Copies of this chain bind each other. A is one copy, B any other.
Amino acid sequence: MEFSSKLLENAVYEVSQLPGIGKRTALRLVLHLLKQPEQRTSNLATSLLDLRSKIQFCENCHNISDTVLCEICANPKRDDALVCVVEDIRDVMAIENTGQFRGKYHVLGGKISPMEGIGPQNLKIGTLVDKVKNGVIKELIFALSSTMEGDTTNFYIFRQIEGFEIKTSTIARGIAVGDELEYADEVTLGRSILNRVPFEGSLRQD
């Protein structure tokens, strides 16, 4: 694409560096901003700069937070002994939306992925192992995605905490509520049969 303006070209280039946004979409977004009042662009730019420079991470669970301890970790009603290990803040938000979890979280910040150059040292695994060693945690729930990277990360953490008296579990994999069996993949359907639950229990809403 040839641009009539270096400023425009520069802005389009920067926007197109975002994931899933190509040059054409970037041009559309930038032209939209040009048609809007200047205030809109400065609000957008300031909010991004503020976020990047002022953001804090909770010192206990490493979730994004505006304070030293995040709201969940600071809540005395939540169970310190039950910790859910997740990849990032989106997973925390998703689990919080269910209203089914009253423990705390530990946000790893990613998964072990040699392809992307992410090793255990890039993730917040050390502090999790420390918490286990201190004996605060009684049960650890692994809620990482069930991909090769997720399984590797689960296994790595599991090996690190072997020998400590602690229960470990992973979230249940199975047919989604409302889905037809016919369209489920074999692995999911297979696991849902292996991990079947007593009938009364499955109807109970805890």
Contact = CB atoms under 8 A, between A and B. Distances in A.
Given A4-B64, A5-B64, A65-B4, A51 B19 contact: no
B63 A52 contact: no
Tally of this chain's copies: 2
Interface stretch (A24-32, A123-131, A156-164): A24-32
A4 B71 contact: yes
Contacts of A65: 4-5
A167 interface: no
Contact of A14 (B29, B44, B88): B44
Interface string A136-158: 00000000000000000000000
Interface of A: 1-8, 10-11, 13-15, 17-21, 25, 27-34, 38, 40-56, 58, 63-66, 70-72, 88-90, 92-93, 96-97
